[in-house]
Amino acid sequence: MADKKTFKSGFVAIIGRPNVGKSTVLNRLVGEKVAIVTQKPETTRNKIQGILTRDDAQVVFIDTPGIHKPTNLLGKQITQVAKDVLIEVDLIVFILDVTKGITSEDMIIFNLVKAAKKPAILLINKIDLRSKSLALPLIEEGARLYDFRDIIPTSAANGDNMDALLKKVIEYLPEGPKYFPDSQFTDKTEQFMVGEMIREKALELTHEEVPHSVAVLIEEFTERPKKLVYIRAVIYVERHSQKKILVGHKGQMLKSIGESARRDIQKFLNRHAYLELWVKVHENWRKDPNALKMLGYA
């Protein structure tokens, strides 16, 4: 009687410190690249919904920025975004990085989870980087710190225990309606996704302070004849020295970012894309409330 089975749905927050693998987990669970992933901490800056629809359930996973001790207004805003998500969800997935143990920032998040008084699952992620026995002390410590429904060692990178996690998530969700059409896998617009794809390439190719100072604004996104999309995007940085790095010798760096982003964009849009990239300096935009608003971070 499959058709008589109850349908479950709900909202699931994915939270944790920067770089523990939240976006990788989201992408694995949804089966689509919803959020960008890089080796650099503080990659995700928005609340991003990734929607998984099955015959028996619809799960709306919410990827969040890594919760950290902020050093500027951007950090403050995005950390707040992550904290606020806890209020609106049915279930929390809290992720630890097995290679880092439980840090003081993790302790702050444990306390947020405690205060939220929601059912929660703890993941000990990146288990592929350590022998499984090293997860045991973390599992014990996690159990002591909160009454988690489950504590699961995972590797989002190679998919270990992702099915087990999804099974548990659906088990704990309430009966509910389908919030989104079957084909929709995110709440974000094409423009947002394209901006993120450009930012991902800029982050991958730069180092130290530069990635943190990068933001992307899509200034134009127009459909042209013959399935072509014209996209004009500005990569904002905070200083002239950073602009020089992003443009590169004879424009080589910007060209690499553009070529690499365009490949992903075309695949995602399933259309040809003409990508025009500019680099502009907006001094200390991470501390400027108006700039944060313009860039979609407020």
Residue 153's binding partner, choosing from ligand GTP, Mg ion, none, with beta-carbon cut-off 5 to 8 A by kind?
none
**Site membership for ligand GTP, residue 195 (CB under 6 A):** no
Residue 129's binding partner, choosing from Mg ion, ligand GTP, none, with beta-carbon cut-off 5 to 8 A by kind?
ligand GTP
Q: Which of 22, 47, 83, 201 binds ligand GTP (CB under 6 A)?
A: 22
| Start-to-end CA span in the chain (Å) | 47
Residue 36 neighbours by CB under 8 Å, 6+ apart? 23, 43, 44, 196, 197, 199, 200, 203
Q: Which is nearer to Mg ion, 43 or 53 (CB)?
A: 43
- The angle, 0 to 180 degrees and rounded to 10, between the axes of the packed helices 190-205 and 252-269 is 140
Site for ligand GTP in 55-74 (CB under 6 A): 65-66
CA dihedral 12, 17, 20, 25 (to 10 degrees): 10
- Distance CA(240)–CA(183), nearest Å, equals 43
Find out whether 38 and 257 touch, Cβ atoms under 8 Å: no
**Site membership for Mg ion, residue 206 (CB under 5 A):** no
**Site membership for ligand GTP, residue 50 (CB under 6 A):** no
Q: Which of 129, 136, 143, 164 binds ligand GTP (CB under 6 A)?
A: 129
Closest separation in Å from C-beta 127 to ligand GTP: 7
CB < 8 Å & 24+ apart, contacts of 37-42: 37/200, 38/200, 38/203, 38/204, 38/211, 39/204, 40/203, 40/211, 40/212, 41/17, 41/66, 41/68, 42/18, 42/66, 42/68, 42/75, 42/78, 42/212
Q: Which of 15, 16, 23, 67 binds Mg ion (CB under 5 A)?
A: 23
Q: Which of 10, 30, 42, 73 binds ligand GTP (CB under 6 A)?
A: 42
Q: Which is nearer to ligand GTP, 21 or 195 (CB)?
A: 21
Q: Which of 49, 58, 125, 206 binds ligand GTP (CB under 6 A)?
A: 125
Q: Tell me the residue number closest to ligand GTP, measured at CB.
A: 66
Residue 18's binding partner, choosing from Mg ion, ligand GTP, none, with beta-carbon cut-off 5 to 8 A by kind?
ligand GTP
**Site membership for ligand GTP, residue 79 (CB under 6 A):** no
- Distance CA(35)–CA(50), nearest Å, equals 8
- Distance CA(64)–CA(62), nearest Å, equals 6
Q: Which of 8, 9, 29, 44 binds ligand GTP (CB under 6 A)?
A: 44
Show the beta-strand stretches assigned E in the chain. Answer: 8-16, 48-53, 57-63, 91-97, 120-125, 150-153, 215-224, 228-237, 272-281
**Site membership for ligand GTP, residue 135 (CB under 6 A):** no
**Site membership for ligand GTP, residue 242 (CB under 6 A):** no
| Mask for 137-166, x = binds ligand GTP (CB under 6 A) | ------------------xxx---------
Q: Which of 9, 43, 77, 206 binds ligand GTP (CB under 6 A)?
A: 43
Residue 126's binding partner, choosing from Mg ion, ligand GTP, none, with beta-carbon cut-off 5 to 8 A by kind?
ligand GTP
- Nearest CA to 263 among 197, 172, 166, 167? 197
Classified as helix, coil or strand, 148 is coil
Binding residues for ligand GTP, rule: CB under 6 A, are 16, 18-24, 37-39, 41-44, 65-66, 125-126, 128-129, 155-157
